[in-house]
Structure 1
């Protein structure tokens, strides 16, 4: 019995595994940085709320359309291609998660963002939001904004956010919208086989040129307009520049995976100046 429960929990975590460093960690840091009120209990509520809503998205995304076949090429360790759960069982899990997440949002106070995440998940998976790089980038920026909005509300135990908090979330969404194609370089080979129209495949040279330019520009802008510690901000600018140059000059799948790790560290740190 305990072994069955443990295997089920591991399967749930594997749905979220690749997005722990891209969603759960940066959104939690972002929310705690923006919150004017802090407590241990609210912190764990933030983590659990983000993780559960992310789970609804990942389960839905990994069961829709040709996702199982794509994951077999790009991410074979995910639960479905690893044969830890069947597609039908995962679809049922996704339908069960929707009311569970709504109840969780009612309890924690993140209802608007929670409902919007469910709607945007449907747009992304069933409405074709994933099929073109422009709509995909827009959806990704929307997801980050909604996760950050809901997490900040929960962390702050507040029904409304102030102007500075909303401005920070908007700034974060713009950064994500213009740079999130960083995640596509590592999957180019598999995406090309599947005929996907990612930004990096549609504009293979230009997409790499944009990385050092955009990461450096955003880093410098945050340096100039932030009141954060200048030494910390200078390190942030250097990290952005190094990451951008890596994407431009180092082009193997292994290098792109490491560059994307640097990008995620940079993404976590951008919450501090914002």
Structure 2
């Protein structure tokens, strides 16, 4: 009995595993940095809320369309290609998760964001949002913004976020929209076999060149307009430059996986910078 329960929990975690460092970690860090109120109980609520809503997305995404075939090429350790669960059982699991997530959002105070995540999941998976790089990047930016909005509401026990919090979340969405193709380089071979129109396949040269340009530009912007600890911001500049140059010069799938790990470290640090964004300084610069 216990082994069966443990095996089921492992299967659930495998649905989320590749997104733990890209969603759960940066969103949690960002929400706690933005929140003006902190408690241990709220921390665990934030992590659980993010993890459960991510689970609804990953189960839906990994069962829809050609995703099982794609994962068999790019991510064979996921539950469906690894034969830990059938597609039909995973679809049923998704229908069970949806009302649980709704109840959890109502309980924690993250209902608007939770409902919007479910709607955007449908747009991404069933509405063709995943099929073109522009809509895919837009959906990814939307997911991050919604996860961060809901997580910050829960962490802060607040129904309404303040101006600085909203500004930081918008900044995060812009960073994601312009740089999230970092995750596509490692999957180019499988995506090409499946005929997907990712940004890295549509613009193979420019997408590489864009990485050092964009990561450095965003790092400089945060250095200028953030009041984060001065040890964080220089490190952000260095990691952004190193990561961008890696994407430009090291092009094997193995190198791209490691570069993507560096990108996620940079992204987490960028969120620390965003959490201390000085909107007054930014507004003064525009005037």
Measured against the shorter chain, the TM-score band is over 0.9
Match of 1:36 in 2: 36
Match of 1:115 in 2: 115
Structure 2: distance between partners of 1:92 and 1:54: 16
Q: What is the SS of the residue equivalent to 2:231? A: helix
Structure 1: distance between partners of 2:106 and 2:232: 38
TM-score by length of 2: 0.95
Once the 2 structures are TM-superposed, how far is the Cα of residue 229 of structure 1 from its aligned partner? 2.1
Once the 2 structures are TM-superposed, how far is the Cα of residue 273 of structure 1 from its aligned partner? 1.4
Match of 1:130 in 2: 130
Show the 5 A alignment for 1:56-205: 56-205=56-205
Match of 1:214 in 2: 214
Structure 1: distance between partners of 2:248 and 2:230: 27
Structure 1: distance between partners of 2:62 and 2:227: 41
Give RMSD over aligned pairs: 0.4
Structure 2: distance between partners of 1:122 and 1:181: 21
Match of 2:239 in 1: 239
Q: What is the SS of the residue equivalent to 1:270? A: helix
Structure 1: distance between partners of 2:40 and 2:155: 10
Q: What is the SS of the residue equivalent to 2:36? A: coil
Structure 2: distance between partners of 1:186 and 1:120: 25
- Stretches of structure 2 lacking an aligned partner (at least 5 in a row): 275-287
Once the two structures are superposed, what CA deviation does each residue of 1:182-227 show, in whole Å capped at 9, x if it has no partner? 0000000000011000000000000000000000000000000111
Contact kept in structure 1, 2:232 and 2:269, CA below 8 Å: no
Structure 1: distance between partners of 2:256 and 2:172: 22
Contact kept in structure 1, 2:37 and 2:155, CA below 8 Å: yes
Contact kept in structure 1, 2:113 and 2:150, CA below 8 Å: yes
Once the two structures are superposed, what CA deviation does each residue of 1:41-93 show, in whole Å capped at 9, x if it has no partner? 00000000000000000000000001000000000000000000000000000
Structure 2: distance between partners of 1:47 and 1:153: 13
Structure 1: distance between partners of 2:102 and 2:230: 41
Match of 1:5 in 2: 5
Structure 2: distance between partners of 1:225 and 1:25: 24
TM-score by length of 1: 0.99
